[in-house]
Structure 1
Amino acid sequence: DPTVHFLREALDKAGCSTGSNFFKVEECEQKVAGGFQSDKGVVICSNRVGFQQEVDAILAHELIHAYDHCRARNLDWTNCEHHACSEIRAANLSGDCRFKQEFNRGNFGIQKHQQASVCVRRRANLSVAMNPHCSKAEAASAVDRVWNTCYRDTRPFERAP
């Protein structure tokens, strides 16, 4: 996948290696398709994905988190605002909110021109609310507080893909 390849190169250029042990495939108990942990790397949940296209989208999403962790060396995943910013960026830049993805989730009642930002906000809220350090209300508030800055931040891309 070109996006995954680009993000791996961006991580390498930023001084953060994505060697062979950076990626893991595991069965996951949580209802998530993948994850990033700063000490473990990227995990793809084999029991939650069925197609290569899904794997590519999950890899892109998690590599955005890895990139954020790499470039912001003080990123604190227990801080709801830090987590919210990375989730906004990951949802916006990974392809999570492309029209086809949203359609497949059954979210097709939104005007196409509004769809991306509505989806990004919804997915960021859901992800941050899963953080044990952030309640649902704290997650929504954190997403609101960092929205303008983080939604516009497209690094390492020149613009949102």
Structure 2
Amino acid sequence: MAEEHVVNSSPAPVPVPGGKTIEECEEMIRKSFRNPMVKFLKEHLQQAGCSFKDNFIKAVNCDKPIGGGYVNGEGIMVCSNHMRMQDQVNQVVIHELIHAYDDCRAANLNWTNCAHHACSEIRAGHLSGDCHYKRELLRGYMKIRGHEQDCVKRRVMESVMANPNCSKEAAKDAMEAVWDICYNDTQPFDRAP
């Protein structure tokens, strides 16, 4: 049996009281399927021959301060207890669908390999809108120029360092080694949205 690895790729905002119940979050996940970016990614997953079952995206309660994750071979989890708004659920779903797309299209993707993990995190951070300047302002980052790449790098480091196979140094080296090729890989989009 293949080793299961959770990609803790959607750092949650600071955990807050008032997170959603699993049932509320499941309804928010259903609503996310109306989002054009979610529809686009779902269609491209299916066109690539990837399975997308009804229970591919699940609401769960999470102990760790993450917004969600992707489990290869199982699907996407959204941490209901860390979600407050529909936009947060949409962002987690979009980010994790990019990981699912990467996992499907790359026959040899190994989530325990720091460079493989970093590459998918770079793509998800860059293509999902996680690092849009308005989101960064809400997080307290006020940089006007170069904010998007700085944000992607910061979030890649958070996620890859959470991988038990990657030290801080290994995460940084992996990110730097794959940055150019992965940042410029916009598949399934023609260009970065």
Judge same fold: TM > 0.5, yes or no. yes
What does residue range 93-132 of structure 1 map to in structure 2 within 5 Å? 93-108=127-142, 110-111=143-144, 113-132=145-164
- Distance between the aligned counterparts of 2:107 and 2:94, measured in 1? 20
Structure 2 residue 120 is matched with structure 1 residue 63: no
Name the amino acid aligned to 2:131. Answer: C
**1:91-143: CA deviations, max 9, x gaps?**
000010001111111111x22x3111111111111110000000111111100
Which residue pairs with 2:75 in the alignment? 41
SS in 1 for 2:69: strand
Runs of 5+ consecutive residues of structure 2 not aligned to the other structure: 1-34
Give 2:47's match in structure 1, choosing from 13, 23, 30. Answer: 13
Considering fraction of residues, name the structure with more helix: 1
- Distance between the aligned counterparts of 1:142 and 1:101, measured in 2? 26
Which residue pairs with 2:177 in the alignment? 145
Which residue pairs with 2:20 in the alignment? none
- Distance between the aligned counterparts of 1:53 and 1:73, measured in 2? 32
SS in 1 for 2:95: helix
Structure 2 residue 126 is matched with structure 1 residue 78: no
Aligned length: 159
- Distance between the aligned counterparts of 2:181 and 2:36, measured in 1? 26
SS in 2 for 1:157: coil
- Distance between the aligned counterparts of 2:157 and 2:185, measured in 1? 18
Name the amino acid aligned to 1:116. Answer: E
Name the amino acid aligned to 1:70. Answer: C
After TM superposition, the score normalised by the length of structure 1 is 0.97
Structure of larger gyration radius = 2
Name the amino acid aligned to 2:182. Answer: C
- Greater than 3 Å deviation, 4+ residue runs: none
Which residue pairs with 2:192 in the alignment? 160
After TM superposition, the score normalised by the length of structure 2 is 0.81
- Distance between the aligned counterparts of 2:107 and 2:66, measured in 1? 26
Q: Give the deviation of 1:39 after TM superposition.
A: 2.2
* Greater relative contact order (Cα < 8 A, sep 6+): 2
SS in 1 for 2:82: coil
SS in 2 for 1:131: coil
Name the amino acid aligned to 1:114. Answer: G
Runs of 5+ consecutive residues of structure 1 not aligned to the other structure: none
SS in 2 for 1:24: strand
**1:135-156: CA deviations, max 9, x gaps?**
1111111000000000000000
**1:16-50: CA deviations, max 9, x gaps?**
02121111100001110100011220000000111
- Distance between the aligned counterparts of 2:40 and 2:73, measured in 1? 22
